[in-house]
Chain A
Amino acid sequence: MIPAPFDYRRPGSVAEALELLASPGAALLAGGHSLLPLMKLRVVSPDVLVDVGALAELRYVRLDGDTVEIGALTRFCDLVVDPVIREHAPLLARAASSVGDRQVRHRGTIGGSLAHADPAADVPAAVLACGGVVMVHGPDGARRVHTRDFFLGRCRTALGLGEMIVSVRVPRQTHWGFEKFTRRALEWALVGVAVAGESVVLINMGDRPVRAGVTEAALRQGASIEQAAGLAAWNTDPVDEPHASAGFRQHLARVLTRRALQRAAGRVPGGLS
């Protein structure tokens, strides 16, 4: 399977990337591990591919007071081993380590994963749970979008035409839990849960990463972890498929939420490997 023809461009800076992105039919290419498979299937056929994958200026992790800032081109494998991430945003290291396989993690980036906005993706849910903010550059300058307003639907985001993610800022958060249920090792989450502090986000339980709001409210009002987790599937609308019914997924959401909350509360062992 070979993609339809396109012009390949490799900009040397963010400014140049934005310029190229303004041309009709242009698309950004980061790690290419969502985009290239879609292009090979000819689901999408951009006319111009703007390869930002090599922009070293967007590959960094730094601590800025109580905030961890992560360049958009930071790869999953970088998140897994980065000492700042492991200490100050361990949920992101854990979520990144569960993406695909080693080969995929050597290529896929945090910016690409957020922009692709697959509701089954691991890292976007973790960033939302942490209360992350997406830093965007575009034709009209820079703006910041809170992850709570960023995901608009299945593979739909608040990014406008010609805009790109340059970095993600997440508040320090060291109480975390992460659970992912897959049928086979290599697969995406059938259901997953990311917990950071007080916030609980479900993976693949709707058309975007979704906050388990009822569970969060119950916890705030003093419910036990078991009681609160029992409410995790409220207001969720998971897909119903022959191999995993909606009811089964809701069951998984409750069980995985309990485990993730127990992990976050330090009641069960298990850290980063």
Chain B
Amino acid sequence: MKVTIEVNGTVTSHDVEDRTLLVHYLRDTLGLTATNVGCDTSACGACTVLLDGESVKSCTILAAQASGHMVVTLEGLAGSELHPVQRAFRERHGSQCGFCTPGMIMAVVSLLRDNPKPDRDEIRLALKGNLCRCTGYQNIVDAVEAAGS
């Protein structure tokens, strides 16, 4: 089937199998590989992107479901400068191996849109769908707090 999805501000249109997952459309069809597949079971959040501005797990959405909609991946965040959330992650060392980071950052962008100044408990609760095996979360929470202020 033909899907048409606006990705990072550019309208993309491709023939794909009906069963194509959004994450595979982004990575394999478009070559946008920032979005990672971690668990592939809807649990880890590494594949988080924005769909019409809201955080979603792209391993649990069909490209067909996103057809006619807008997707933003990590590649679409920075303009000539880093996005404030990216900058905060860099300054506060919110990333170690970096595998969870693209999904984590997209989840944070969505969170800050709904709650621009979350406290530390709210940050932890809001990011429970994003697992990180490296940082112990401390610096991630610091980064979100900094980005929110």
Contacts and interface: CB of A to CB of B under 8 A. Distances in A.
Whether A and B are associated in the same complex: the answer reads: yes
Contact of A101 (B18, B40, B129): B129
Interface of B: 1, 17-19, 21, 24, 40-43, 45, 48, 51, 54-57, 60-62, 64-65, 68, 107, 110-111, 124-126, 128-130
14 contacts: A2-B21, A2-B24, A3-B19, A6-B19, A8-B62, A32-B61, A32-B62, A36-B60, A49-B18, A101-B128, A103-B56, A103-B57, A106-B54, A107-B60
Interface residues of A, number: 29
A270 to B, nearest CB: 14
A1 B38 CA distance: 12
A185 B61 contact: no
Nearest to A107: B56
B25 to A, nearest CB: 12
Contact of A33 (B42, B45, B54, B125): B42
A206 interface: no
A59 interface: no
A32 B128 contact: no
A242 interface: no
Contacts of B57: 103-104, 107
B111 A102 contact: yes
Given A32-B62, A51-B64, A51-B65, A103 B17 contact: no
A40 interface: yes
Contacts of A54: 65, 68
B58 to A, nearest CB: 9
Contact of B55 (A49, A51, A102): A102
Contacts of A100: 129
A103 B19 contact: no
B47 to A, nearest CB: 9
In this complex, the member of B48, B56, B126 whose beta carbon has the largest number of chain A beta carbons within 10 angstroms is B56
A29 B128 CA distance: 25
Contacts of B54: 77, 106
A243 B19 CA distance: 36
A7 B17 CA distance: 9
A49 B20 CA distance: 13
Contact of B126 (A8, A49, A102): A102
Contact of B45 (A3, A7, A101): A101
Interface string A6-30: 1110100000000000000000010
B121 to A, nearest CB: 10
A104 B42 contact: yes
A63 B43 CA distance: 35
A186 B127 CA distance: 10
Given A1-B40, A102-B110, A32 B65 contact: yes
B50 to A, nearest CB: 10
B125 A185 contact: yes
Contact of B107 (A103, A107, A185): A103
Nearest to A186: B128
A53 interface: yes
A8 B18 contact: yes
A56 interface: no
Contacts of A247: none
B122 to A, nearest CB: 9
A1 B37 CA distance: 10
A5 B21 contact: no
A103 B64 contact: no
In this complex, the member of A40, A51, A102 whose beta carbon has the largest number of chain B beta carbons within 10 angstroms is A102
Given A2-B21, A5-B19, A37 B129 contact: no
A6 B17 CA distance: 9
A-B pairs with the 5 shortest C-beta distances? A101-B129, A8-B18, A185-B128, A106-B54, A8-B64
